Amino acid sequence: MKTAVFSAKPYDKEHLEPANQSRHELVYFEAHLNPQTAVLAKGFDAVCCFVNDTLDAETIATLGSVGVRMIAMRCAGFNNVDLDAARQAGIRVARVPEYSPYAVAEHAVALILDLNRNIHRAYNRVRENDYSLSGLLGFDLHGKTVGVIGTGKIGVAFARIMAGFGCRVLASDPFENPALQGVAEYVELDCLFREADIISLHCPLLPQTHHLINAETISQMKRGVMIINTSRGGLIDTPAVIDGLKSEQVGYLGLDVYEEEAELFFEDYSNVLLQDDVFARLLTFPNVVITGHQAFFTQEALSAIAEVTVKNLNAFEKGDTQSGEWVA
C-alpha cells in the first residue's frame, strides 16, 4: 500500500524500513499531519501518524477526499484522532496498543529517582567543580506509598517496579487488573490522593480524565507530594500545578508530556525564543524535571512499533481488521 508517513524522523525510517521489507511503498514527510498538510496524502492509500499529528474532522475530511482509506497510528494513544469523523469518511484507524510497557514504566521510575535524589542538579554541580550537598537531600523510596492511576499495561509494569523498591502501592482504575494481586491495593481515588507520597499517571486522556490533576485534587494530596505524568499532558491542569509548586503543596513534578506539547516537542528550538509562558514558568522550578515525550523511546519499543504498524498495513490490505489494534 502506498503510505505517507507523517512527522517522520530518521529513527522512524531506520525501524520501519527493515520491518516493511519493501512490501508497502512508504514515503516519509517531516511535516506534521494537520489540515494544511493533509493534501500531501493525495494518491496515498494510508497515512502513518504519531502523537502530535492533528487528525481532527477537517484533516480527516481532506484525507477522505484525496483517497486515503486507512490511518496507521504508530503509537498507543489515539486521543488526537476524531474517530467519528474517520468512520464518517470510511477511513479505518489502527494503532499499536502495546509495544513496550517497560519503556514508559521505567522512564516514570527514572523521573522519580532523578527528582528524589536531585540528580539533575547534582550533575550540573559536579561539572562546575561544586561538590557541596546542600539542597540535594533525598528520601528513601522504601516504605513510601505510591499511587498508580490507571493500571493497564504500563501501570502494571510501573507498580511492579515500585513494589520491588519496597513501596506500598495503591491503585485506582475503573477495572481492577488481576495482575496486581499481591502487588497493589485498589482504593478510591480520594484515598489514593490522601495517602500517596508519589502519584504516577498511567490512564488515557479521556473527557473523564481531562485535568484529573487540578486545584481541587491537588488540595486533597499530601503536602510535598511528587506527581509524575508520562501519560498525556491533558491529564494535568498546568496552571493549577504551578500554583501547587509555588505553595509547596506539590514537592516535585516529573513530566514527559505537556498539554501544549504539540507546538514544542520532538523538534530542536534551541535557537528560537520560547513563547509558551506557562511552560517557561515550569522550567524555573528546581524541583521540576521535564523530558520531551521520550518515555517510549527505546530500541525495543521502536522495533515493536514498526513491526505492528507494518502488520496493521498488511491486515488492512487483506481485509482482516477485527483485532484489538483497530479502533475505527
Instruction: Give the residue numbers annotated as catalytic, written as ranges.
Output: 232, 261, 293
Residues 213-232 that bind ligand NAD (CB under 6 A): 230-232
Measured from the CB atom, the residue of 8 and 199 that comes closer to ligand NAD is 199
Stretch that binds ligand NAD, among 11-19, 86-94, 203-211, 271-279 (CB under 6 A): 203-211
Q: How far is the CB of 322 from ligand NAD (least distance, A)?
A: 18
Rounded CA separation 172/200 (Å)? 11
Q: Nearest 5°: phi and psi at 29? A: -120, 130
Rounded CA separation 41/39 (Å)? 5
- Nearby residues of 205 by Cβ (< 8 Å), 6 or more positions away: 77, 79, 231, 232, 233, 234, 235
Rounded CA separation 118/102 (Å)? 23
Specify the 3-state DSSP secondary structure of 297: coil
Helix, strand, coil shares of the chain, percent, nearest 5, are 40, 15, 45
Q: How far is the CB of 94 from ligand NAD (least distance, A)?
A: 15
Binding-site string for ligand NAD from residue 287 to residue 316, where x marks contact by CB under 6 A and - marks none: ------x-xx--------------------
Is residue 203 part of the contact set for ligand NAD (CB under 6 A)? Answer: yes
Binding-site string for ligand NAD from residue 150 to residue 179, where x marks contact by CB under 6 A and - marks none: xxxxxx----------------xxxx----
- Nearby residues of 221 by Cβ (< 8 Å), 6 or more positions away: 193, 194, 196, 199, 227, 249, 250
Specify the 3-state DSSP secondary structure of 152: coil
Which residue number places its CB atom closest to ligand NAD? 152
Measured from the CB atom, the residue of 32 and 153 that comes closer to ligand NAD is 153
Measured from the CB atom, the residue of 33 and 159 that comes closer to ligand NAD is 159
Q: How far is the CB of 171 from ligand NAD (least distance, A)?
A: 9
CA distances from 97 to 40, 76, 123, 148, 324 (A): 27, 5, 36, 20, 8
Is residue 204 part of the contact set for ligand NAD (CB under 6 A)? Answer: yes
For ligand NAD, which residue of 12, 256, 261, 325 counts as binding (CB under 6 A)? 256
Distance from the Cα of residue 89 to its chain's centroid = 28
Q: How far is the CB of 106 from ligand NAD (least distance, A)?
A: 11
Residues at the site binding ligand NAD, with contacts judged by CB under 6 A: 76-77, 101, 104, 149-155, 172-175, 202-204, 206, 208-209, 230-232, 256-257, 293, 295-296
